[in-house]
């Protein structure tokens, strides 16, 4: 039951993210000057929430446990590897989506908050 709920939540969240990315991407295609405004907003948000930047340890531990599906040490190791892959994938996704070039996107991607936002 919990697994099914988590699957449905992930599916719903993926749909929200895809819509948001498509929406922003379309606006950037129409007005590339928006990228500078987005960058400024990301930097401002980070400065305001600097004390919350980086990945929250509890969130990471939860990701590992969910990915592991078990408390068994070998499963936890596999969950840890899966969580690392997720973090890297999210970072690459933040860099390649919307239209920022790699030089600008990489530092902006690193400014996500402790809950991955």
For the stretch 61-112, pLDDT in tens is 998 999 999 999 999 999 999 999 988 887 777 777 667 776 777 787 777 6
What are residue 53's DSSP bridge partners? Answer: 113
- Write b or e for each residue in 64-90: b if 16 or more Cβ atoms lie within 10 A of its Cβ, otherwise e: bbebbeeeeeeebebbbebbeeeeeee
Task: Give the predicted TM-score (pTM) of the model.
Answer: 0.55
Higher pLDDT, 59 or 117: 59
């Amino acid at each position: 039951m919990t697994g099914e709920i988590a699957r449905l939540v992930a599916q719903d969240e993926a749909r929200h993210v895809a819509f948001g990315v498509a929406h922003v991407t379309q606006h950037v295609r129409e007005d590339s000057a928006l990228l500078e405004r987005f960058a400024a907003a990301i930097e401002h948000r980070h400065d305001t929430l600097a004390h919350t930047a980086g990945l929250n340890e509890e969130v990471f531990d939860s990701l590992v446990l969910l990915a592991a599906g078990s408390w068994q040490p070998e499963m936890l190791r596999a969950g840890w590897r899966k969580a690392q892959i997720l973090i890297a994938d999210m970072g690459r996704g933040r860099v390649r989506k919307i239209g920022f070039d790699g030089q600008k996107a990489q530092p902006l991607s690193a400014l996500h908050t402790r809950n991955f936002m």
